[in-house]
Amino acid sequence: MTFIEEFDGFLFDLDGVVYAGQGAIDGAPESITALRDAGRPVGFVTNNASRSEADVAAHLRELGVPAEESTVFGSARTAMSLLDDRAEKGARVFVVGSPSLADLVTDAGFTVVGLDAMEAGEGCDVVVQGFSPETGWRHLAAASYAIEAGADWIATNMDATIPRAEGIAPGNGSLVEGVRRATGRDPVVAGKPEPAIFHRAAKALGCSRPLVVGDRLDTDIAGGRASGFASALVLTGIDSRESAEAASADQRPDFVIGSLRDLVNGEASSFSLDAR
C-alpha cells in the first residue's frame, strides 16, 4: 500500500500550501491533480474569509488546480453557522472584512450595518470580523466600541500571519488581537483550529479518515488533531521541521513533508518526524 492509499481523502490548506500570494507553489497543481486522478477526494479548508468559496475555486482553477465551489470550505461560511446559532434573523451585524463576507451575512438573513452608520451611533447586535486588506483603524475602533457596549463577537479565524509572495504579512488574528486588547473580550472563532470546519469538509467529501495537510502548527495541525484526523506539515509556508519537533502534543503533526510532490511520491516512513 502506498502512502496516499492509507487515506480516503485529503484536506489541504491554501496559503503556504497550494499558493503564496497569487501564484501557485511549485509542484502543487500537478500533485493535487495526481491525487484526483487516483480517485482520492480532495478538499480545500481555508481560514481566508476575504473571498467567497466560488471565487477561491475559480482562482485555484486559474492556477491549474482542479477545484469546484463544493470542494472549498471557508471559515466565512462556518461563521455563518455560528451567527445563525447566536443571533435572531434580522439582527444588526457590523462586518469587519471583505464585501463577500458582508454578502454572506446578508444572504443568511441578517442586516449589515455599515461603518458610517456605526460611527453615527446606530450600533449593532453582532460584530463579525474577517480578513480584508482594506480594514483600517476606523473599522477596528467601531468594532471595539460595539463589543464594549455588549455586542456579540465572531471571528472567522485567528491566523496571526499570512504568507505572501513578498514575505510574511499580518493576518486576521493580528487584527482580532488588537480588538481583544482594546476590549478585554475574546471572540467566538469559526475557523481552524476549531474542528467544525474540518468535520464539515470531511462529511461533504464522504471521508472518514482524511489527511489534513497544512503549513501551520497552530491552525492546520492543531485542527486536524482536534478533529481526530491524521495531519502532515508541509514546509512551503510558515512552520519548520524544527518547530514541529518542538511542538506540544496538540500541535504535533503525524508527518512532515517538504512539498506536495513528496506527498504523492514518498512513503509514509519518509515523512515521520523520527526519520532523519
DSSP assignment of 218-260 equals: IIIIHHHHHHT-EEEEETTSS--HHHHHT--GGG--SEEESSH
With beta carbons less than 8 A apart as the criterion, state whether 185 and 21 touch: no
Amino acid at 17: V
96 in any annotated domain: yes
Confidence (pLDDT) at 49:
81
The residues that bridge with 128 in the sheet, in sequence order, are 95, 154
* Confidence label for 1 from pLDDT (cuts 50, 70 and 90): low
Lowest mean pLDDT among 49-58, 78-87, 118-127: 49-58
Distance CA 248, CA 121 (A): 45
**Same domain, residue pair 117 and 221:** no
| Residues 192-207, mean pLDDT to the nearest whole number | 94
Radius of gyration of the chain (CA): 19
* Cell numbers for 66: 482542479
Distance CA 192, CA 225 (A): 11
* pLDDT exceeds cutoff 70 at 21: yes
Which is catalytic among the residues 8, 13, 107, 159?
13
Average pLDDT, the chain: 93
Smallest CA-to-CA distance from 142 within 155, 133, 129 is with 129
* pLDDT exceeds cutoff 50 at 268: no
Rounded (5°) CA angle 228-2-64? 80
Please give the share of the chain, as a percent, with pLDDT higher than 70.
Answer: 96
How many domains would you assign to the chain?
2
| Residues 188-213, mean pLDDT to the nearest whole number | 95
* pLDDT exceeds cutoff 80 at 269: no
Distance CA 141, CA 89 (A): 25
Binding site for Mg(2+): what residues are annotated? Answer: 13, 15, 215
Answer with the one of 189, 215, 242 that is the final residue of a domain.
189
**Same domain, residue pair 241 and 266:** yes
pTM above threshold 0.85: no
CB hemisphere CA count around 231 (13 angstroms): 26
Question: Which domain covers residue 184, as residue numbers?
Answer: 76-189
Catalytic annotation on 13?
Answer: yes
| Residues 234-256, mean pLDDT to the nearest whole number | 94
Confidence (pLDDT) at 46:
93
70 in any annotated domain: no
With beta carbons less than 8 A apart as the criterion, state whether 60 and 71 touch: no
61 in any annotated domain: no
64 in any annotated domain: no
**Same domain, residue pair 196 and 185:** no
| Residues 188-194, mean pLDDT to the nearest whole number | 93
Answer with the one of 189, 212, 241 that is the final residue of a domain.
189
**Same domain, residue pair 84 and 108:** yes
With beta carbons less than 8 A apart as the criterion, state whether 95 and 115 touch: no
- Mapping DSSP to helix (H, G, I), strand (E, B) and coil, where does residue 93 land? strand
Kindly give the pairing relationship between strand 23-24 and strand 19-20: antiparallel
* Cell numbers for 181: 486588547
**Same domain, residue pair 116 and 177:** yes
Binding site for substrate: what residues are annotated? Answer: 192
Confidence (pLDDT) at 275:
45
Q: CATH code at 267?
A: 3.40.50.1000
**Same domain, residue pair 182 and 212:** no
**Same domain, residue pair 185 and 216:** no
69 in any annotated domain: no
Confidence (pLDDT) at 240:
94
**Same domain, residue pair 98 and 126:** yes
**Same domain, residue pair 207 and 169:** no
**Same domain, residue pair 203 and 171:** no
Distance CA 41, CA 200 (A): 14
**Same domain, residue pair 87 and 173:** yes
59 in any annotated domain: no
Residue whose entry in the numeric block shows the C-alpha cell 478538499? 43
Answer with the one of 139, 154, 189 that is the final residue of a domain.
189
The residues that bridge with 155 in the sheet, in sequence order, are 129, 189
**Same domain, residue pair 211 and 153:** no
| Residues 132-161, mean pLDDT to the nearest whole number | 96
66 in any annotated domain: no
Q: Which DSSP letter does residue 51 get? A: S
